[in-house]
C-alpha cells in the first residue's frame, strides 16, 4: 500500500481507516461518501493542544470551521475543548447549534453584511476580526444600533510571501485585511469609538504553509505593529491571532524534490508551535496567542470513498494523428461536484483501491470524474497524468481518496444534477454512524420554482 499512514491498515486485502473495513462500510452505503474518524479528529486536536499549550499556556485554539462545518464534526470539536472561528452568519448559526458559547467564537470574513455583524454583536462573540477601515465604521454603526459594544481585532496584511498555492495565499497584498500602513489608523478609530473595544490584532498568512519561516516573519511584523498601534491609539491589546495554515502532508515525498512542493510538508505541529510561541514569548509574553487551524484538524480525519463506474482504453496520437500509445481510463462516481478542490486548485489527494490494498500499485490509469467537463480529470501521481493502481483495477472497485476531510464536504455542489454525497463516521467505540445523509433526487429540485407553469 503506497503510504506510511498508521491510521490506514490492511485486513484481508481490504483498506481499513481507523480500523473500519472500507469495503464493508461501502456494502451498506451508496458511493460516493465521506468517512470520518472521530479518534483521528480528536488526535489532531490533542496534538495542537499539546504543542501550543505546553509552550504558551494562555494560547487558545479556534478551529476554522470553514474546513468542515458538519454538525457532528463540530460537536466533536466542542467536546474536545477548543473554540471556533466562523466566517459567515451561517457558520455562526452552526456554531451555536453545535453548542459553542458565543465567547468561544471569533468572527472573520472579508464582506460581512450588517445583518451578520448585528447577529455576532447581539450574541456576544469574543471578537469581530475587521477586514477594512470601511468595515470598522460599519461595525461601529451596527454596535450603536444594537446598543452593545463590539470587541474588535483588526486583521492586518503583514505582507509576507509564502510558497503555497497562489489561491491560498492571504497576506501578501491580496484581498484580505487592512494594509499595514493603515493599521495605526484602524486602532486609533476603534479606540476613539465608544461602541468599539480593540482587543487584539489578527493576521492569517494563508493555508498549507509548508515552512515555519513565514510565520516567524509574519509574527515579528505583527508585533512591530502591535507596538506601533498601542502607542498610536493608547490601547493595550489582549491577544494576537496568528490565523491558521499549518500544512498537511498530502504527499509523503516530492517527486521533483522541489523545496516549494506545497503538497509535501515535513513540518510538525511542534515546529510550528516552537516558532510561533518562541517569537511571542520573547517579545510579548503578556499577549495571549490565538490560532485558527482548519486543515490540520480536518484533512486527515476523513477519506472519500468512490466507485469505478466506467472503463476504456484510448489510443494516444501525435499532432499528425499517428498512434503513439494507449491509455487506460477509469471513471469514478465523484468529480468536482464532490471534490471541488481537485479542479479549482488542481489539488492532489493520494488514492488507494480499497479491495486491492495489498496488491502492487504499478499499472498506470487516467482517473476521471463523472461530469461532462473535459477538465474533470484527476491530477496523476508524481506529477504525471497517471494514477498508479493494481493492474486488475476495474469497474466496481472502490477508489479511496486520502486526507479528504478538509475543504471538501463543505464545497460539494449538485452540478450535472448529481446528488451531494453523504458522510459516515467511525466512532470511538468503532461503530460506523451516518453523519450526513446523501441527497435524494427530490433535493435536486427542492429550491426550483416554476412560475407560469403551475396548473
Ligand atoms: C482567516 C482564516 N483563518 C484560518 C483559516 C484556516 O486555515 P487552515 O485551514 O490552513 O488552517 C483560514 C483559511 O484559509 C482563514 O482564511
What is d(CA 113, CA 121) in angstroms, rounded to the nearest whole number? 12
CB neighbourhood size of 31 (10 A): 20
Please work out whether the CB of residue 207 comes within 6 Å of at least one atom of ligand 1. yes
Where does 213-303 have alpha helices with state H? 213-233, 269-283, 295-298
State in Å: Cα 204 to ligand 1 middle.
7
Its pTM stands at: 0.97
pLDDT score, position 326: 97
- Report the percentage of the chain scoring pLDDT > 90: 90
Closest CA to 303 of 76, 66, 95, 68: 68
pLDDT score, position 103: 98
What is d(CA 144, CA 136) in angstroms, rounded to the nearest whole number? 12
Point out the ligand 1 atom lying closest to the alpha carbon of residue 295: 9
pLDDT score, position 202: 98
Mean pLDDT of the chain: 95
Which H or E element spans position 10?
strand 8-11
pLDDT score, position 170: 81
Site to probe by mutation for ligand 1, drawn from 84, 207, 222 as the one with most ligand atoms within 8 Å of Cβ, is 207
Point out the ligand 1 atom lying closest to the alpha carbon of residue 208: 10
What is the pLDDT confidence band of residue 257, given thresholds at 50, 70 and 90? Answer: low
pLDDT score, position 173: 78
What is the length of the chain? Answer: 455
Which H or E element spans position 128?
strand 127-130
Catalytic status, residue 16: no
Is 5 a residue whose pLDDT tops 90?
no
Residues 243, 204 contacting (CB under 8 angstroms): yes
Burial class (CB in 10 A: 0-12, 13-18, 19+), 309: middle
- In the chain the domains, ranked by start, together with CATH numbers, are 8-36+301-444 (2.40.37.10), 108-293 (3.20.20.10)
Q: Residue 124, by phi and psi: left (phi above 0), alpha (psi -120 to 50) or beta?
A: left
Please work out whether the CB of residue 154 comes within 6 Å of at least one atom of ligand 1. no
Query: What is the torsion angle, in degrees rounded to the nearest 10, for the CA atoms of residue 13, residue 14, residue 16 and residue 22?
Result: 180
pLDDT score, position 259: 58
Site to probe by mutation for ligand 1, drawn from 176, 203, 204 as the one with most ligand atoms within 8 Å of Cβ, is 204
**165-191 pLDDT, tens per residue?**
888 888 787 889 999 999 999 999 999
**386-430 pLDDT, tens per residue?**
999 999 999 999 999 999 999 999 999 999 999 999 999 999 999
CB neighbourhood size of 154 (10 A): 28
pLDDT score, position 454: 78
Sign of CA dihedral 269, 275, 281, 285: negative
What is d(CA 424, CA 29) in angstroms, rounded to the nearest whole number? 9
State in Å: Cα 300 to ligand 1 middle.
16
Is 164 a residue whose pLDDT tops 90?
no
Amino acid at each position: 500500500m503506497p503510504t506510511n499512514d498508521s491510521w490506514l491498515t490492511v485486513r484481508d486485502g481490504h483498506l481499513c481507516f481507523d480500523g473500519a473495513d472500507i469495503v464493508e462500510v461501502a456494502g451498506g452505503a451508496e458511493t460516493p461518501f465521506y468517512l470520518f474518524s472521530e479518534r483521528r479528529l480528536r488526535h489532531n486536536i490533542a496534538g495542537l493542544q499539546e504543542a501550543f499549550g505546553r509552550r504558551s499556556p494562555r494560547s487558545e485554539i479556534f478551529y476554522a470551521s470553514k474546513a468542515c462545518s458538519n454538525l457532528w464534526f463540530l460537536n466533536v470539536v466542542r467536546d474536545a475543548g477548543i473554540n471556533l472561528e466562523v466566517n459567515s452568519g451561517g457558520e455562526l448559526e452552526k456554531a451555536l447549534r453545535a453548542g459553542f458559547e458565543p465567547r468561544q467564537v471569533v468572527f472573520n470574513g472579508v464582506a460581512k453584511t450588517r445583518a451578520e455583524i448585528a447577529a455576532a454583536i447581539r450574541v456576544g462573540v469574543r471578537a469581530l476580526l475587521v477586514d477594512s477601515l470601511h468595515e470598522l465604521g460599519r461595525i461601529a454603526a451596527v454596535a450603536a444600533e444594537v446598543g452593545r459594544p463590539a470587541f474588535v481585532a483588526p486583521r492586518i496584511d503583514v505582507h509576507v510571501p509564502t510558497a503555497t498555492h497562489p489561491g491560498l495565499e492571504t497576506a501578501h497584498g491580496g484581498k484580505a485585511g487592512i494594509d499595514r500602513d493603515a493599521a495605526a489608523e484602524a486602532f486609533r478609530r476603534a479606540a476613539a469609538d465608544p461602541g468599539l473595544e480593540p482587543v487584539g490584532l489578527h493576521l492569517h498568512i494563508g493555508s498549507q504553509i509548508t515552512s515555519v519561516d513565514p510565520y516567524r516573519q509574519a509574527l515579528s511584523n505583527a508585533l512591530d505593529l502591535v507596538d506601533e498601534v498601542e502607542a498610536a491609539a493608547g490601547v493595550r491589546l489582549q491577544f494576537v491571532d496568528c490565523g491558521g495554515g499549518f500544512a498537511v502532508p498530502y504527499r509523503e515525498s516530492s517527486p521533483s524534490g522541489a523545496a516549494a512542493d506545497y503538497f509535501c510538508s515535513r513540518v510538525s505541529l511542534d515546529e510550528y508551535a516552537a516558532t510561533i510561541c518562541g517569537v511571542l514569548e520573547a517579545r510579548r509574553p503578556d499577549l495571549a496567542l490565538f490560532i485558527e487551524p482548519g486543515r490540520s484538524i480536518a484533512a486527515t480525519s476523513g477519506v472519500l470513498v468512490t466507485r469505478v463506474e466506467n472503463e476504456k482504453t484510448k489510443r494516444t496520437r501525435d499532432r499528425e494523428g499517428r498512434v503513439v500509445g494507449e491509455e487506460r481510463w477509469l471513471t469514478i462516481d465523484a468529480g468536482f461536484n464532490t471534490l471541488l478542490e481537485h479542479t479549482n486548485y488542481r489539488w492532489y489527494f493520494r488514492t488507494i483501491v480499497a479491495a486491492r490494498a495489498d496488491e502492487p500499485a504499478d499499472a498506470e490509469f487516467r482517473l476521471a470524474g463523472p461530469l461532462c467537463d473535459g477538465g474533470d480529470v484527476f491530477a496523476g501521481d508524481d506529477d504525471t497524468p497517471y494514477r498508479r493502481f493494481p493492474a486488475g483495477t476495474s469497474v466496481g472497485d472502490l477508489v479511496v481518496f486520502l486526507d479528504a476531510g478538509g475543504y471538501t464536504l463543505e464545497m460539494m455542489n449538485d452540478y450535472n444534477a448529481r446528488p451531494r454525497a453523504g458522510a459516515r463516521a467511525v466512532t470511538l467505540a468503532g461503530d460506523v454512524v451516518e453523519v450526513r445523509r446523501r441527497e435524494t433526487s427530490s433535493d435536486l429540485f427542492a429550491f426550483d420554482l416554476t412560475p407560469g407553469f403551475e396548473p
